[in-house]
Chains A and B, each alone.
Chain A
Amino acid sequence: MSADGTQGATPIETDALIIGAGPVGLFAVFELGLVDIKAHVIDILDKPGGQCAELYPEKPIYDIPGLPVVTGQGLTDALMAQIKPFGATFHLGQRVDVLQKAGDGRFRLVTDTGTTFLAKVVVVAAGGGSFTPKRPPLAGIEAFEGTSVFYSVRRMEDFRGKDVLVVGGGDSALDWTLNLQPVAKSLTLLHRRDDFRGAPHSVERMRALVADKKISLLIGQMTALHGDGGVLSGVTVKTKDSESRLAVNRLLPFFGLTMKLGPVADWGLNLHENLIRVDTERFETDVPGIFAVGDINWYPGKLKLILSGFHEAALMAQAAHKIVYPGKKLLFQYTTSSSSLQKKLGVS
């Protein structure tokens, strides 16, 4: 796996680009690999596994054929082991923002960090869409986003000398409390209860800063934002027995992630209730060369099951082969008996 810093200018050329590293995106690497198609995989999360890894790593799944019970993380780990022979390159922590036709019949894709790809086929395996930070339902919050309200810290300098309010009780809230305390003019951590989900040593360090009066800890919840023209001047905070206005000019709310369809909606694909319409022979969209597999696609009778996505990936790979290797006949083979498939899998 490689986190890459490749920027805009030199595109990465690949046979297939898979958008989404959930179970179906991972299995697509396998099916494409069997027919000699090399893939790059992009995911917005910083780890493979998609919902399995992010939403329910510890939860048992009971309907994976051949596995009576497996956890979300267990399935992810097993799939990563299964696709290892095919050496896919992962680009994690990135979201594909642009998907368009390049002049030469290939597709050009650009991520939010500027990585650019040229791919012969694109496989959208984006599940429920991309994970994005949850926006607290406070009136007018959109106006402050990017200027005073941030859902992640890209540059610590944006917080230097500022009065910062961090909200949340997990690792993100604790980590940024600890990291920003030295640069901020003042820092307040707000959480709804005096109990934190984050790593115990982070909680200890945070409590020590509170004891040293280097930061303030408030137990309560936000009820309103104040400010003008994108400039935050205060946040109303309700605690157990009072409501008060806190003078802050930077707000970092950490309320976890939610799934949003995101840029997929802007790629000009034929959508059916926010899902990508595909045929059931090739699982191709109405744009030849762009396929969609797993929870993101729709066809009559569609079931949002991981096992359906696996089947879709297998048929998609057959169709992708025709595009990547035009004119080359594909011989249907079984992994149990084919020595050439076994060689690809590194088992013969």
Chain B
Amino acid sequence: MAKITFIQPDGTEQTVEAAPGMTVMEAAKKELVPGIEAECGGACACATCHVYVDDAWHEKVGPPSEMEEDMLDFAFDVRESSRLSCQIKVTQELDGLIVRVPEKQF
């Protein structure tokens, strides 16, 4: 199992356990982490599971694919560290991962 910490815009932290193979979005939905809406259910067809990957984890998580980059056009306040959490697969390597939830999904 890998531990993933979600930090809300107000600073609230929530750490969830995720099994390798599931996505960071699924890990968030399972534990009802606020602010991860995932309207399309993980099809990379909306942008409502947008997160900012913590700087320290940026490299390990890697960049978005071309399709995800296109979908990020539909997100708000996109930054260098932006990813769609449904496109981040949990691996043991990501144990301890920290992501920030944006002010608003839209």
Contact = CB atoms under 8 A, between A and B. Distances in A.
Among B45, B46, B103, which residue has the most Cβ atoms of chain A within 10 A?
A: B45
Nearest to A169: B73
A194 to B, nearest CB: 12
A136 B46 CA distance: 14
B1 interface: no
Contact of B73 (A55, A59, A192, A259): A192
Interface in B40-97: 40, 43, 45-47, 69-70, 72-74, 76-78
A56 B39 CA distance: 13
A195 B68 CA distance: 13
A133 B72 CA distance: 16
A170 B45 contact: no
A136 B76 contact: yes
Contacts of A259: 39
A135 B47 CA distance: 13
Given A137-B106, A170-B73, A192 B78 contact: yes
Contacts of A193: 69, 73
A197 B47 CA distance: 15
B30 interface: no
A55 B40 CA distance: 8
Interface in A121-170: 134-137, 168-170
Given A134-B106, A135-B106, A137-B104, A56 B76 contact: no
Given A55-B40, A55-B45, A221-B78, A191 B106 contact: no
B70 A256 contact: no
B104 A191 contact: no
Nearest to B74: A256
A134 B50 CA distance: 15
Contacts of B104: 137
Interface string B1-34: 0000000000000000000000000000000000
A244 interface: no
Contacts of B46: 55, 256, 258
B12 to A, nearest CB: 20
Contact of A255 (B40, B45, B77, B106): B106
Nearest to A55: B45
A197 B104 CA distance: 24
Contacts of A170: 73
A77 B44 CA distance: 22
A134 B47 CA distance: 11
A76 to B, nearest CB: 15
B43 A197 contact: no
A136 B73 contact: no
A255 B74 contact: yes
Contacts of B70: 197
Contacts of A168: 73
Given A55-B43, A56-B45, A137 B73 contact: no
B103 to A, nearest CB: 8
A273 to B, nearest CB: 16
Interface of A: 55-56, 59, 134-137, 168-170, 191-193, 195, 197, 221, 255-256, 258-259
18 contacts: A55-B43, A56-B43, A56-B45, A59-B43, A134-B74, A134-B106, A135-B106, A136-B76, A137-B103, A137-B106, A169-B73, A170-B73, A193-B69, A193-B73, A197-B70, A221-B76, A256-B46, A258-B106
- 3 tightest Cβ-Cβ pairs between the two chains A and B: A55-B45, A137-B104, A256-B74
